[in-house]
Structure 1
């Protein structure tokens, strides 16, 4: 059986390796390894212009899409002024990932959003973000300190697609200071113990799900297995 090709959106950042210090297109290795472990072939997708044309061309050759974690989404995309803690958004990455999602919708590809990916998916659908989670829940356990993940117990809606992949409760790895307030076209399907929405999914046969946590960091890789199985069904 042909192994499905899974596209993963990437960072574009200043990076250092060996003797070099320059702009690089990169993604933590845990994403690619998670895809590889369940039978997929990871394909990294750096921002490429013109965005809509490039997104359509590359997704025509792929079998599924992951919108990866990363920096804040620009508040201009959902009509709000930046919170004082909203920083480091990348207009090129925002535009690229929105174009990827639009092309995935047109082509019917399975989609998984991870952390920032969930936020981009909500905004692309016309939704709105809350820009600083501690303002809502009065703690910082969802993003405890830079460079470390917080452990968050979540409950998943029985009967949801996510519950079919992961069960109805688990502890996940989070690192997000923003969250989804409005998510038109999606149904909330997982919540933290403080009530914060931690996942959403679209109705219908196509797998289109998103989580605020980082499944590439722990044992909840059933999300990647579900994505690769959905991609495989398109190629069989």
Structure 2
């Protein structure tokens, strides 16, 4: 009998993290991510930063991939100078996650980018970012909520057909879309809130499943986006 699809989730790498009597560098992942994977029927596996040349081997063992939220993408990755409001770079994580995205796209492994993960997906495909927007992260360390409206005819609209209020915490957003991507949801202010492969774009479409969302489904109760990833991953026939 086939088991639950194995879903890899990228992680933070933080120095000086304290727990108990220890203060050590740690690979961290907010518990909402694995819990959401589990609620959606998947088996979660953490993917801490590694050498980029190992990304293809890691992805080959997975049924699906999630690129998690986190720090700002270094602007040099999309040919821009850093805005004063852009956070410090996380170069090791940028390199690893870009390699994971490239490997997943090449192997046609279902891919979900969350917040930073959506932004990095866009950058990986040659897109650019707005380095600061107001109104999407009101209180430091506290998720806000705002409505997101799907674009009819997109994969996201098939998964979540109605306008919904989503948990949000970000100050950067997609500017120019990457190759083959289309916007599949927007906030009321016009901010791109979801991207995916477009049937009219230059990227693969049809059986491939590639979606990025700007919000944080792991901080809410709606499991539909993650369940769509897990369901597509389960159809690949390589379940753990």
TM-score of the two chains, using structure 2 as the length reference: 0.93
Matching residue of 1:106: 106
| Partner secondary structure for residue 3 of structure 2 | coil
Q: CA RMSD in A?
A: 1.0
Matching residue of 2:185: 190
Q: Deviations over 1:135-177 (max 9, x none)?
A: xxxxx2x111211011111100122111111123100011010
Q: Is the 8 A contact 1:166 1:220 kept in 2?
A: no
| Counterpart check, 1:121 vs 2:121 | yes
Unmatched segments (≥5 aa) in structure 1: 135-139
Unmatched segments (≥5 aa) in structure 2: 199-204
Matching residue of 2:9: 8
Matching residue of 2:201: none
**Aligned pairs for 1:1-236 within 5 A:** 1-14=2-15, 15-49=17-51, 51=52, 53-134=53-134, 140=135, 142-184=136-178, 185-203=180-198, 204=205, 205-235=207-237
- For 2:56 and 2:195, the matched residues in 1 are separated by 25
Quick check: 180-189 or 94-103, which moved more? 180-189
Q: Deviations over 1:72-131 (max 9, x none)?
A: 000000111100110122000000000001100111100000000011000000000000
- For 1:92 and 1:235, the matched residues in 2 are separated by 32
| Partner secondary structure for residue 80 of structure 1 | coil
Q: Is the 8 A contact 2:145 2:165 kept in 1?
A: yes
TM-superposed CA distance for 1:219, in Å, is 2.4
Q: Deviations over 1:202-223 (max 9, x none)?
A: 0312110001000111122101
- For 1:160 and 1:221, the matched residues in 2 are separated by 18
- For 2:89 and 2:223, the matched residues in 1 are separated by 28
Q: Is the 8 A contact 2:7 2:62 kept in 1?
A: yes
Q: Is the 8 A contact 1:2 1:235 kept in 2?
A: no
Greater per-residue helix proportion: 1
- For 1:183 and 1:209, the matched residues in 2 are separated by 13
| Partner secondary structure for residue 232 of structure 2 | helix
User: When the two structures are aligned, how many residues end up with a matched partner?
Assistant: 228
